[in-house]
Amino acid sequence: MTSGGDSPASGCTSYAVFEGYQGLVDGGEMIREMKWEDVRGWLSEGGTLIGTARCKAFMERPGRLKAANNMIEKGINALVICGGDGSLTGADKFRNEWPSLMDELVEKKMRTADDVKPYKHLNIVGLVGSIDNDLSSTDATIGCYSSLQRICQSIDFIDATAFSHQRAFVIEVMGRHCGWLALMAGVSCGADFVFIPENPPTENWEEEMCNIIKRHREMGKRKTIVIVAEGAHDRKLNHIHPKMVEELLSTRIGLDTRITTLGHVQRGGPPCAYDRMLATLQGVEAVKAVLEATPETVSPVICIVENKIVRRELVKAVQLTQEVAKAIERKDFEAAMKGRDAEFEEYWQAFNITTATDKSDMLLPKEQRMRVGIIHVGAPAGGMNAATRAAVAYCLTKGHTPVALHNGFPGLCRHHDDLPLGSVRDIKWLDAEQWASRGGSEIGTNRGLPSEDFKTTAFCFGKYQIDALFVVGGFEAFTAVSELRRAREQYDAFKIPMVVLPATVSNNVPGTEFSIGSDTCLNALIEYCDAIRQSASASRRRVFVVETQGGASGYIATIAGLSIGALAVYTPEEGIHLNMLVEDIKFLKEQFGKDKGHARSGKIILRNEKASKVYTTEFIANIIKEESEGRFDARFAVPGHVQQGGTPSPMDRVRAVRFGVKSLQYLESFAGKSRQEIADDPMSAALIGIRGARVKFTSMEKIERVETDWKDRRPKDEFWMNLVDIVDTLSGRPKTCRTPAPGSPVMSGVPQDHTPMPGSPAMDGTGTHTPLPTQKDTLETLRLPPTSVPNGLMR
């Protein structure tokens, strides 16, 4: 009951079941074979284009018997269901009953024994589509981050009004049994108070909430945001309605308060980048699970844990989910919180730490308190400010002093003693409180490295008593901490604990699979590509070649390609060679030749900015246009710094908060140790990152030595490389498109325009480099007379 992922590429026949289980029961035209042309362009559409409906008939055995008969009629022996826990439970029950349903069809003479023989077993795979993110065993369900994005956009707009008029807003969001949306919106937007079903407030919650908000106002905060999940209740399970909260804020504190119920706005709109990627990869995994299943295989549900697609037992996942609701009913809120994933509990703690910093019971003894330097290094990235805000809040809650080192290492060295205001400043809570949803870098960032002036850097660390260092940034931040670590022998001031929080649109920092800012970049790029595709589709026969950022890492181009259904993706890791362009032009001609009527659509090719020095974005578009022989048009587009995004995405915000808090907790663990003890500990200079299904701190020394490609400024082993094959599979791009012609230097893995290593096929016998082709040479090669060249394209 979904479009079937890449089933056709796996040699399967895909059917769409329209209107959910009702379509299975009704049969006929409600179960239709779907080819690629039928579902192309669906990636950017919200909701479900094959429909969904509640079906009472399927809840009874006669309805399921009709459904089984209709599936045999169409020759279907495997079912992929995308829905909530009720839909998945129904699917597993259907599978368990399947053998007896086959027997019943024969007994009632609806089918012969020969008819049902090939269908003795039914394979079921579940995908979870739920904006509430209420399934246990997975970090995210399809649709939840798109819904969170809609909520955060609404709150950001409300925020401006609240700040201008010093108002309070009570915002109701969806979540009858699950408070994920409310909690994540609270973390993302810096809410003052959040009500969730799993962990209700204390019995005197009215006084507790009013006290927190009063203190915030006394500190100088001009606005108040309270977020209420629709299923919110107190510890006696009495419903907490937004109206109750509004009356409290109005009468007890005297705030001008408004209520906003977001309602079904949360379900609408195009899916965000993460949901597109998640749904696509889970769809692919679902097909693999179907093909690998045996009659003994337990029905799986496809999940994601941190950054890893995994399979879990469907029935067990549903049972764990239902246990949370039961725990809430019996008022066992501790069990309800444990029933969610570990990430949920971490976010709850992070929210409580970052929303109120005057908790005397959390203060550390004076001898354990530190002055923590916070510095941004490299290009700006969405989420840098959210991470800094979280770090500041944690410091103030525990008694540490957060110290902003403005404008990177050059700012520190050149302007630390400027008057009246230097670049080294203690941060107060009110300074950082507004930073949760702001893009860019509020304390300034710079690509300069400490090695440019080690002496002054060390002097400043000593003068301003920096006891620990929290560095937020991209590859330059990684390099900076590497330099400081290696300079410890010469400078005692660097013998302090240091943590790097990767933040870069390129996602090219070794030691992690996710960098803060990359999700914001993907959302900006995908929004841009959606607009371009609309233009290309309106013109019918047009292909756009779009240039993406990412440095020497093809991550952004590849994930964006997966998320928009790109025809092809060109990355620096693979390079671009002549045969690739020749085969892609052939493929384009075939694709445009198949386009008819409503199925016509624009095409997009994504090219990373450093994929080739020779084959530029404009040059590729010109080649395609020249060789199209008037059948289609080609244009190029360069979004440039638009990709850095404006307001950070909710995913970047929440992960920035979580990693910011964890980083400060890690630095705190070194409190009380001597400088030499710190220098001797390889983990005293570390990087926080996601690796597969875990969040992990890794020593900088190990990452530098084993995992870093210093020449190309990226990890040696890039986890996403196998996704390029999925992009090609889903576009139907032939494998020949990526196969270099015989004799090409790329056959040995050296892209045509990269500097070859000695001894490579791109070197002549004397050890000198053979000349690389110029754009003029390449055009001349492509334009040889058709009579002497196959396809008029290549020698």
Among 330, 368, 719, smallest CA distance to 510 is for: 719
Among 85, 52, 6, smallest CA distance to 290 is for: 6
Catalytic member of 6, 26, 132, 728: 132
Q: For residues 405 and 409, what is the distance between their CA atoms, to the nearest angstrom?
A: 8
Decide: helix, strand or coil at residue 82.
strand
Q: For residues 47 and 44, what is the distance between their CA atoms, to the nearest angstrom?
A: 10
- HEC states along 526-558? HHHHHHHHHHHHHCCCEEEEEEECCCCCCHHHH
H helices of 472-517, in order, are 475-486
DSSP string, 150-171: HHHHHHHHHHHHHHHHT-EEEE
Task: Yes or no: say if 129 and 82 are a contact pair by the CB < 8 Å rule.
Answer: yes
Task: Yes or no: say if 476 and 377 are a contact pair by the CB < 8 Å rule.
Answer: yes
Q: For residues 35 and 26, what is the distance between their CA atoms, to the nearest angstrom?
A: 22
Among 142, 12, 9, smallest CA distance to 78 is for: 12
Q: Does the annotation count 103 as an active-site position?
A: no
Q: Find all residues with CB under 8 Å of 334, minimum gap 6, and list them.
A: none
- The angle that helices 650-668 and 144-165 make with each other, rounded to 10 degrees, is 80
Rg of the chain in Å (alpha carbons): 29
Residue 346, number of CB atoms within 10 A of its CB: 15
Among 151, 156, 190, smallest CA distance to 173 is for: 151
Looking from the CA of 588 toward its CB, the CA atoms found within 13 Å total 32
Phi, psi angle pair for 196, to nearest 5°:
-130, 150
Task: Yes or no: say if 245 and 192 are a contact pair by the CB < 8 Å rule.
Answer: no
Phi, psi angle pair for 469, to nearest 5°:
-130, 125
Q: Find all residues with CB under 8 Å of 181, minimum gap 6, and list them.
A: 131, 132, 133, 144, 147, 148, 151, 173, 174, 175, 229, 266
Among 123, 73, 89, smallest CA distance to 21 is for: 89
Q: Output the six-digit token pair for 639.
A: 């979004």
Among 177, 233, 171, smallest CA distance to 200 is for: 233
Helices (H) and strands (E) counted in the chain, each on its own, are 27, 24
H helices of 630-722, in order, are 650-668, 675-680, 700-702
Q: Output the six-digit token pair for 77.
A: 């022996």
Beta-bridge mates of residue 225: 169
Phi, psi angle pair for 553, to nearest 5°:
-110, 130
In which element (H, E) is residue 376 found?
strand 371-377
Cα distances from 102 to residues 87, 95, 343, 625, in angstroms, run 22, 11, 43, 56
* Residues with catalytic roles: 132
